[in-house]
């Protein structure tokens, strides 16, 4: 998979969609446990999705158990969340591809309105 950089965005173009996410510097993309991505479906809208592994969710819950947030880590919820089985951008792009091919992206994710008005939309 080829990923290109435009300004502060990293872009992965696939058959049927383009995925854009913020460049996080020197982080190894195949080690990412959570990531927010804008997904533009070819000929369709742009969606927002957060992808996380179960380990990433567990890390957040454990932190909250210590900080007391979210009832001491007794629950986790997030709008537009998709859980992936493995870390890394490859697994995340595969999940997005599956959401689109299975026609589930509109149920799992919200449309980002009026991206054309955003100068940083990339």
Q: Which pLDDT score, from 0 to 100, does residue 122 have?
A: 52
Angle in degrees, CA 90, 4, 93, rounded to 5: 20
What predicted TM-score, i.e. pTM, was given to this entire model? 0.86
Residue 22 CA to its chain's centroid (Å): 10
What's the average model confidence in pLDDT over 113-119?
Answer: 60
Determine the Cα–Cα distance for residues 15 and 28; give it in Å rounded to an integer.
24
Give pLDDT tens digits for 9-40: 999 999 999 999 999 886 799 999 999 999 99
- Count the neighbouring beta carbons within 10 Å of the beta carbon of residue 44: 14
Give pLDDT tens digits for 54-104: 999 999 999 999 999 999 999 999 999 999 999 999 999 999 999 999 999
Q: Where are the domains of the chain?
A: 3-116
What's the average model confidence in pLDDT over 102-112?
Answer: 96
């Amino acid at each position: 998979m080829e990923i290109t950089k435009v300004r502060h965005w990293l872009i992965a173009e696939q058959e049927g969609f383009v995925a854009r996410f913020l460049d996080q510097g020197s982080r190894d993309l195949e080690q990412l446990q959570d990531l927010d991505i804008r997904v533009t479906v070819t000929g369709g809208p742009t969606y927002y999705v957060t992808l996380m592994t179960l380990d990433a969710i567990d890390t957040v819950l454990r932190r909250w158990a210590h900080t007391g947030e979210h009832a001491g880590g007794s629950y986790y919820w997030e709008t537009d969340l998709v859980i992936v089985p493995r870390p890394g951008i490859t697994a995340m792009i595969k999940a997005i591809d599956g959401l689109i091919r299975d026609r589930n992206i509109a149920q799992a994710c919200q449309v980002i309105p009026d991206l054309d008005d955003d100068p940083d939309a990339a």
